[in-house]
Amino acid sequence: MKKWRDDNWKAAGFSGRLSAIQINEQDMKEFTLKGHEYIELNNLLKAMNFVASGGEANMFIVSGEVEVNGETELRKRKKLRAGDKVLFNGEEIVIR
């Protein structure tokens, strides 16, 4: 399991350690919420290093390039909770 340092989370807009990212054998990525109820969609894309900035994340979201649970999601701050699945640029992320 790949663990991020605290400064990675701070750069993604979080005040402390939120999660660990795990990559399993099927190339599906997992984002684990620890001590938090949800993560906003644009913050997830930043935390996973899929985008360089929040503005870039918002651009991809509003242009319809992100799916949540099999449906195109246009809300930048969509709250993702455990069990949600996000598809972006061919990568699937499961929220745990």
Where residue 21 sits, what CATH number does that domain have? 3.10.290.10
Q: The whole model's pTM is what? A: 0.75
Is 62 inside any structural domain?
yes
User: Contact, 38 vs 23, CB < 8 A?
Assistant: no
**pLDDT score of 93:** 96
- Cα of 79 vs its chain's centroid, Å: 10
Domains of the chain: total: 1
User: Contact, 81 vs 38, CB < 8 A?
Assistant: yes
Query: 12: domain range?
Result: 6-95
Is 67 inside any structural domain?
yes
Is 36 inside any structural domain?
yes
Is 63 inside any structural domain?
yes
Give CA–CA dist 51/93, Å, rounded.
Answer: 14
Is 1 inside any structural domain?
no
**pLDDT score of 10:** 56
Per-residue pLDDT of the chain (96 residues; tens, 9 = 90+): 344 445 555 555 555 444 555 555 467 899 999 989 999 999 999 999 999 999 999 999 999 999 999 999 999 999 999 999 999 999 999 999
Which amino acid, residue 50? F
CA distance to 40, 43, 63, 94, per residue, from 57 (Å): 11, 8, 10, 18
